[in-house]
Structure 1
Amino acid sequence: MRLKTIVLTLIVGLAFLGCNSCTDSPTPAESSDPEIQTPADPQNFKLIALGDSYTIGQSVCESCRFPAQLKDSLQERFTVLDTFNLEIIAQTGWTTSNLKNAISTAEPPTDFDLATLLIGVNNQYQNKPFELYETEFVELVTTAISLIGGDASKLIVVSIPDYAYTPFGQGSNALNISTQLELYNSFAQTYCTDNNLKYVYITDITQEGLNNPALVASDNLHPSALAYTKFVERILPLALDILE
C-alpha cells in the first residue's frame, strides 16, 4: 500500500512538471502580435495658399478663411503629433499679375506638400484683357507646381466665386459679372482637365448668397465663414488624398 502511494505521487509530480513547461509564459518575441504596428513618426505638412481676397479671407477672421479652415480640418484627421504649417500669399485686390510678382518677391521654398490656387476675380473686376488671364493663369499654375516639388498632383485649383450674388454685385451689372466669371472659370476648368490637375468648383455655393445671406460676409461682398466652410467640404477630400 505504501509503495503504491509513492509511485502515484511520483507520477502526479512528473505530470505537473510536464504541464508547467507547457504553460511557461512565451518570450516577448513569441508573444508579439503581427497586427500591432509601431507608431509612425510624426509628420510635418507644409501648405501654401495662393490668391487674392478670397484666399486671405477679406472681412472674416484669420481662422475663418478657407485655407485656415482646411488646415484645421486636416489636423483633426491626423494624429496630435502631426503638424500643419500654412503659408498664404494673397491680398485683397490682387490680379494674376500682382500674385505673380508677389510670389517672385517672397521666394517661398519649393518643398510644400499641398498648394491651392484661387485667382482671377480682380482681372474681371478691373476689366483686364481676358487674354492676360489666359496667359498668367497658366504661368501661375506652373509656379504653384514648382512650389510643391514639381508634383502637379499636389495642386488644387479652386474656382472663382460669383460676387454678382451679393448686395454689392447687385448694384452693378450682375448678369455681366456672372457671364464673365463663367468664362474665367470655364477656361480654368478646361485647362485643369486637359492637364490632369485637380479642380474644385465652389462658384455655385456663392450663387446662393442672395437666397442665404449667411453666406455673405458683413461687407456685403465677400464670402462668409460659413461659405468658406462649404468650400472646405469640397476641397478636403482631395487634400486628404494628397497627404495620405
Structure 2
Amino acid sequence: MLSYLALGDSYTIGEAVPAEGRWPMRLAAALRAQGVALADPSILATTGWTTDELSAAMDAAAFAPPYELVSLLIGVNNQYRGRTADEYRGEFRRLLERAIALAGARPGRVLVLSIPDWGVTSFARESGRDTAQIAAELDAFNAIAAGETRAAGAAFVDIAPISRDYPALLADDGLHPSAAQYALWAEAALPVARHLLA
C-alpha cells in the first residue's frame, strides 16, 4: 500500500466528525475505489494549531518517509488569532518545504488545500464577527498559499468556494465542517491526487 501523510489542524483531524468522515480518510477511500492502493493517512493535526505549532509538532514527530502522498492544509488559526499575511507566507513556505522533503523531495507528490471560509458559519454570524473582513483575510492567505505551492511545483486545490457555497454543512458546533462537506472537499481533491499518484 502507498503511504499517505496528512498535515494540518482541525480541518484535517476532522473536529466533531467521526474518523471515517475526515477528508483525508475519504480521499484515501475514494482513491482505493478507483484502483489506487493508498493506505489510510497518518495524520498529524490538532484543532487550533497555527503554522508554527504544526512545525513544532513536526519537530517532535516520528515520521517514516518517503511518503507517496503528503497533504497540507494550515493557516486558519493564524488568521483567527490576527497574525499577519507576511508571517504566514514565511511559515507556510517552510512547512511546504518540509512536506516536500517528507514526500522524498518530490513536490509532485504534495497536495495543498486552501483554507475554508469560517466566516460563513453560524458560529461567526452569531458571535458578531466581521464576515467580510474574515473573507478578505482568508483570500489573502489563500493567494499566498496558492502562489507558494505552484512555485514549488506542488498541487493546489481551492476548497474555499465549497465552504462558501455550502455554509449549512456544519458539525454540531456550528463552526467546523460536517462529514458531508468534507466529502465535497475529498471529491474536489480526488482527480488531482490521482494525477499526482499516476
Q: Over the residues paired in the alignment, what is the CA RMSD in angstroms?
A: 1.3
How far off its partner does 1:196 sit? 2.7
Which amino acid counterpart does residue 19 of structure 2 have in structure 1? E
Flag structure 1 segments of 5+ consecutive residues without an equivalent: 1-43
Q: Distance in 2 between matches of 1:111 and 1:216?
A: 34
Which of 185, 191, 197 is residue 237 of structure 1 equivalent to? 191
Answering whether residue 120 of structure 2 is matched by residue 120 of structure 1, we say no
Answering whether residue 99 of structure 2 is matched by residue 144 of structure 1, we say yes
TM-score (normalizing by structure 2): 0.94
Which amino acid counterpart does residue 27 of structure 2 have in structure 1? L
Q: Contact (CA 8 Å) 1:161, 1:203: kept in 2 or not?
A: yes
Q: Distance in 1 between matches of 2:103 and 2:79?
A: 28
Q: Deviations over 1:45-95 (max 9, x none)?
A: 10010000000001111000100101111111227xx46142000000000
Q: Distance in 2 between matches of 1:120 and 1:104?
A: 18
Compare relative contact order (CA 8 Å, sep 6+) and give the higher one, 1 or 2. Answer: 2
Pick the structure with greater CA Rg. Answer: 1
4+ runs of 1 displaced by more than 4 Å?
none
TM-score (normalizing by structure 1): 0.77
Counterpart position of 1:164: 119
How far off its partner does 1:131 sit? 2.1
Give the count of matched residue pairs.
Answer: 196
Which of 179, 182, 196 is residue 228 of structure 1 equivalent to? 182
Q: Distance in 2 between matches of 1:207 and 1:83?
A: 30
Q: Distance in 1 between matches of 2:49 and 2:101?
A: 21
Flag structure 2 segments of 5+ consecutive residues without an equivalent: none
Q: Distance in 2 between matches of 1:123 and 1:86?
A: 24
Q: Distance in 1 between matches of 2:106 and 2:150?
A: 16
Which amino acid counterpart does residue 51 of structure 2 have in structure 1? T
Counterpart position of 2:32: 75
Matches within 5 A, 1:1-244: 44-78=1-35, 82=37, 84-170=39-125, 171=127, 172-210=129-167, 213=168, 215-244=169-198
Q: Distance in 2 between matches of 1:103 and 1:128?
A: 21
Q: Deviations over 1:9-37 (max 9, x none)?
A: xxxxxxxxxxxxxxxxxxxxxxxxxxxxx
Counterpart position of 1:18: none
